Amino acid sequence: MNSNKPTLQEKIARLRASFISQLPKRLEEAQHQLILLKADPCMNRVAAVELHRTFHSLKGTGYSFGFHELAGIAGDAEDYTQQLLDLPDERTPPQWPDRLIGLLQELASQAQILVYTDMRKDQPLETPFFEMNDSSSDKDSKPGACNRLVYICDDEIDQVTHLSYQLRCFGYQVEHFTETQEFDRAVMKKRPDAVVMDVRFPHGGTAGTDALANIQKVTGQQLPAIVLSGRDDFEARLSAVRAGCQSYFTKPARPLELATALDEVMEEEVFEPYRILIVDDEPEVAQYHSLILEEAGMLVHELSQPANLLATLQEFRPDLVLLDVYMPDCTGQELSALIRQFPEYLSLPIVYLSSETDRQKQFSAMQVGVEGFITKPVIPEELVAAVALRAERMRSLRALMVRDSLTGLYNHTTTTELIEGALAQAKRKQESLAMVMLDLDSFKEVNDNYGHVAGDQVLLALSRILRHRLRTNDIVGRYGGEEFAILLKDVTPQVAFELVDQLREDFSKIRFSSGQQEFYCTFSAGISSFPFYLRAEELRIAADKVLYRAKKEGRNQVKLDDGNE
Ligand SMILES: Nc1nc2c(ncn2[C@@H]2O[C@H](COP(=O)(O)OP(=O)(O)OP(=O)(O)O)[C@@H](O)[C@H]2O)c(=O)[nH]1
């Protein structure tokens, strides 16, 4: 029996994901139709009708799935194509190809944003009896808003006040309690995203961890929690394990370490299922393996017709392919070789799932760049483990292509592409944008005085602040070594200035440590804006120029471009 039957929400989520994955292909087709259209001086009506249909379908499906931005552009394109179709040939305006090319470019930018967003999308939390914490929607709407809610429970008021202050600098919304009873009441009223709990309280040596264990017992749900305690003995640590706490820190608190641990416990709740493609000509066999993997939380697509493989790869975007070796139309070996003909699938893990036990035949079948061989009948746990391990590696590899490995922010190339896309969108919506170039001050000295590892901690802390304090639809990238590029959407230059200046102030108060030494760090930033500058490169140069001025005038400051540089 399949206990993992997808809910309606999950089915819709799958359909949305599939729509997103198909977008590049659809837009490619539209581009092809446009080329045909352009090639004919009298406008090829057949291609125009086809193009109209494509825009129409993108609009309809886009709205159905809630992609209003994309659907809006497709709607404009549809209207414009309809106007062209309604005109007699001799009255077609000369600028029509440019207008359509522009709209198509906007659609491509929008599609790119959706694809990236889809790669980093979170699953909603299931909190049936707690009041839903709606702070994430704040984050999307208000520039610079704090987001994730952390409860700190500790009876040492000085510790708590200082730690709350530092964690707020990292972008958490923090509430603190000095008594466990007060903490209990707050949790039942509003579930936090994570908890920092002390162990010892005046009324009990392990009263803090006991309170957490009790909440779990009463509600049946585990709160993501870490311990920060003055105790460092076996009993205290064991009580933390029993209360389900993921990390244990001893006082004094090191805010960056705690922020990192908090991120980890919160991220554990985010799970995007591995996407597995099973190619097997026997549907029942495919279904059986599919059930095992689905039971382990994976998303599985079964394919019995190898001829549909390429289309399926493109649409389903699997993290791994499980291939039967012997099929009537072609062999697994041939299919693997075919997959490897495409550069984009060179790193896609392929694993054979076959009843072939002859080691020699297995070995020769793997010569075409196949990762592994699992023999039927499978042991379910082994199948799940082998697939999960390889799929995870594929995920990490994909992330590497888009993100900077140290900070997890977008890398230089991705940042530049996303900024171009956002600019096209702002032009269409006639919204303002702010571009921020941000650079750590005297960072060489930090490395020289406290070591490269400490320098990396500073980079991590700054990226964490940027990620948490900016809205999810803002673009934050690591542009170079100690330089960051940020694009703030739909903000006036003044609002952008105030926001970045507040970040600067908060960041300057974060206490870093390296061995016994403690130090603080600052950054300088330059801001330029659209529509004052119309092109991405102009925006960057202008922001860079004022950043240079901020450095020259003493660092630890933000400068706003006024067009006079
Ligand atoms: N720890 C660490 N340091 C890095 C990384 N990338 C670049 N850096 C260092 O960043 C420093 C940048 O130094 P400079 O360009 O001289 O600038 P600065 O010392 O920050 O001085 P100003 O920008 O003028 O305030 C160099 O020492 C680089 O080695 C990294 O990933 N980790």
Query: Separation of 464 CA from ligand 1 center, angstroms?
Result: 18
pLDDT of 137 strictly over 80 = no
Nearest residue to 240 via CA among 230, 248, 249, 231: 248
At 90 the pLDDT is 60
Q: What's the rounded Cα separation, in Å, for the pair 294 and 317?
A: 17
Query: Separation of 527 CA from ligand 1 center, angstroms?
Result: 21
Nearest residue to 438 via CA among 483, 492, 495: 483
Mutate to test the pocket of ligand 1, among 412, 447, 514 (most ligand atoms within 8 A of CB): 447
Higher pLDDT, 400 or 182: 182
Three-state SS string across 118-140, please? HHCCCCCCCCCCCCCCCHHHHHH
Q: Which helix (H) or strand (E) holds 352?
A: strand 350-354
* Residue 63, phi then psi, degrees to nearest 5: -65, -40
Higher pLDDT, 201 or 158: 201
Ligand 1 nearest atom to the CA of residue 524, by list position: 25
Query: Separation of 533 CA from ligand 1 center, angstroms?
Result: 29
Domain assignment present for residue 130? The answer is: no
Least reliable range by pLDDT among 125-129, 167-171, 356-360, 554-558:
125-129
Same-domain pairing of 233 and 215: yes
Ligand 1 nearest atom to the CA of residue 555, by list position: 25
**CATH number of the structural domain spanning residue 287:** 3.40.50.2300
Q: What's the rounded Cα separation, in Å, for the pair 159 and 177?
A: 12
pLDDT of 519 strictly over 90 = yes
Task: Report pLDDT digits (tens) over 270-315.
Answer: 457 899 999 988 777 788 888 889 888 899 999 988 899 998 888 8
SS3 485: strand
Same-domain pairing of 307 and 183: no
Token pair recorded at residue 491: 């903000």
pLDDT of 338 strictly over 70 = yes
Q: What angle do CA 389, 392, 396 make, to 5 degrees?
A: 140
Q: Using CA positions, which residue lies closest to atom 14 of ligand 1?
A: 444
Query: Separation of 439 CA from ligand 1 center, angstroms?
Result: 9
At 139 the pLDDT is 43
Three-state SS string across 406-461, please? CCCCECHHHHHHHHHHHHHHHHHHCCCEEEEEEEECCHHHHHHHHCHHHHHHHHHH
| pLDDT band (50, 70, 90) for residue 335 | very high
Q: What angle do CA 291, 20, 56 make, to 5 degrees?
A: 125
Ligand 1 nearest atom to the CA of residue 441, by list position: 25
At 211 the pLDDT is 95
At 314 the pLDDT is 82
- For tokens 């311990």, what's the residue? 227
Q: Using CA positions, which residue lies closest to atom 18 of ligand 1?
A: 442
Q: Using CA positions, which residue lies closest to atom 13 of ligand 1?
A: 444
234-242 and 207-219 are packed helices; what angle lies between their axes, rounded to 10 degrees? 20
Query: Separation of 442 CA from ligand 1 center, angstroms?
Result: 7
pLDDT > 70: percent of the chain: 87
Q: Which helix (H) or strand (E) holds 301?
A: strand 299-303
| pLDDT band (50, 70, 90) for residue 16 | confident
Mutate to test the pocket of ligand 1, among 482, 508, 549, 556 (most ligand atoms within 8 A of CB): 482
- For tokens 């309604």, what's the residue? 86
The number of helices, as runs of H, and strands, as runs of E, in the chain is 20, 17
Same-domain pairing of 77 and 55: yes
**329: Cβ contacts below 8 Å, ≥ 6 apart:** 281, 305, 306, 307
Q: What angle do CA 2, 130, 245 make, to 5 degrees?
A: 80
| pLDDT band (50, 70, 90) for residue 60 | low
| pLDDT band (50, 70, 90) for residue 488 | very high
At 23 the pLDDT is 85
At 41 the pLDDT is 60
pLDDT > 90: percent of the chain: 40
Task: Report pLDDT digits (tens) over 315-324.
Answer: 888 999 999 8
Mutate to test the pocket of ligand 1, among 411, 412, 438, 444 (most ligand atoms within 8 A of CB): 444
Same-domain pairing of 288 and 356: yes
- For tokens 């903490």, what's the residue? 183
Mutate to test the pocket of ligand 1, among 411, 437, 443, 479 (most ligand atoms within 8 A of CB): 443
Same-domain pairing of 284 and 419: no
At 3 the pLDDT is 45
Domain C-terminal end among 234, 267, 300 = 267
Instruction: Please state whether 66 falls in left (phi above 0), alpha (psi between -120 and 50) or beta.
Output: left
Token pair recorded at residue 554: 């003493």
Higher pLDDT, 540 or 142: 540
Query: Separation of 481 CA from ligand 1 center, angstroms?
Result: 6
pLDDT of 407 strictly over 80 = yes
Find the mean pLDDT for residues 374-379. 82
Q: What's the rounded Cα separation, in Å, for the pair 512 and 254?
A: 8
Amino acid 357 reads: T
Among 1-5, 28-32, 41-45, 84-88, the range with the most confident prediction by mean pLDDT is 28-32
Contact 349, 390 (CB under 8 A): yes
For 118-270, strand residue ranges (E) read 149-153, 173-177, 194-197, 225-229, 247-250
Same-domain pairing of 262 and 326: no
Query: Separation of 530 CA from ligand 1 center, angstroms?
Result: 29
Average pLDDT, the chain: 84
For 77-186, strand residue ranges (E) read 149-153, 173-177
Ligand 1 nearest atom to the CA of residue 445, by list position: 19
Find the mean pLDDT for residues 149-178. 88
At 326 the pLDDT is 82
Same-domain pairing of 156 and 259: yes
Domain assignment present for residue 127? The answer is: no
**CATH number of the structural domain spanning residue 546:** 3.30.70.270
pLDDT of 121 strictly over 60 = no
Ligand 1 nearest atom to the CA of residue 448, by list position: 27
Q: Using CA positions, which residue lies closest to atom 28 of ligand 1?
A: 444
Same-domain pairing of 464 and 548: yes
Q: Using CA positions, which residue lies closest to atom 7 of ligand 1?
A: 481
Number of domains in the chain: 4
Ligand 1 nearest atom to the CA of residue 454, by list position: 1
Find the mean pLDDT for residues 82-95. 74
Domain assignment present for residue 171? The answer is: yes
Query: Separation of 523 CA from ligand 1 center, angstroms?
Result: 12
Q: Using CA positions, which residue lies closest to atom 4 of ligand 1?
A: 481
Ligand 1: lining residues by beta carbon, under 6 Å: 406, 439-444, 447, 452, 455-456, 459, 481-482, 551, 555
Q: Active-site residue numbers?
A: 482
- For tokens 């139709």, what's the residue? 33
Amino acid 341 reads: Q
Same-domain pairing of 209 and 302: no
Find the mean pLDDT for residues 558-563. 91
Domain assignment present for residue 376? The answer is: yes
Domain C-terminal end among 267, 290, 320 = 267
Same-domain pairing of 224 and 284: no
Token pair recorded at residue 412: 């230089």
| pLDDT band (50, 70, 90) for residue 110 | confident
Domain assignment present for residue 248? The answer is: yes
Q: What's the rounded Cα separation, in Å, for the pair 531 and 534?
A: 6
At 127 the pLDDT is 29
Full domain range(s) for residue 151: 135-267
At 331 the pLDDT is 87
Contact 404, 467 (CB under 8 A): no
Q: Is the dihedral of CA 324, 329, 333, 334 positive or negative?
A: negative
At 5 the pLDDT is 60
**375: Cβ contacts below 8 Å, ≥ 6 apart:** 354, 355, 356, 357
SS3 232: coil
**CATH number of the structural domain spanning residue 21:** 1.20.120.160
Q: Using CA positions, which residue lies closest to atom 15 of ligand 1?
A: 444
Find the mean pLDDT for residues 149-171. 87
Q: Using CA positions, which residue lies closest to atom 11 of ligand 1?
A: 444
Domain assignment present for residue 194? The answer is: yes
pLDDT of 206 strictly over 90 = yes
Domain C-terminal end among 239, 267, 295 = 267
Domain assignment present for residue 124? The answer is: no
| pLDDT band (50, 70, 90) for residue 231 | very high
Count how many residues are written for the chain: 565
Same-domain pairing of 330 and 349: yes
Query: Separation of 470 CA from ligand 1 center, angstroms?
Result: 24
At 119 the pLDDT is 57
Task: Report pLDDT digits (tens) over 435-448.
Answer: 999 999 999 999 99
| pLDDT band (50, 70, 90) for residue 131 | very low
Amino acid 23 reads: L
Radius of gyration (C-alpha) of the chain in whole angstroms: 27
| pLDDT band (50, 70, 90) for residue 132 | very low
Domain assignment present for residue 128? The answer is: no
Q: Using CA positions, which residue lies closest to atom 12 of ligand 1?
A: 444
Ligand 1 nearest atom to the CA of residue 456, by list position: 1
| pLDDT band (50, 70, 90) for residue 551 | very high
Same-domain pairing of 42 and 174: no
Among 22-26, 82-86, 314-318, 535-539, the range with the most confident prediction by mean pLDDT is 535-539
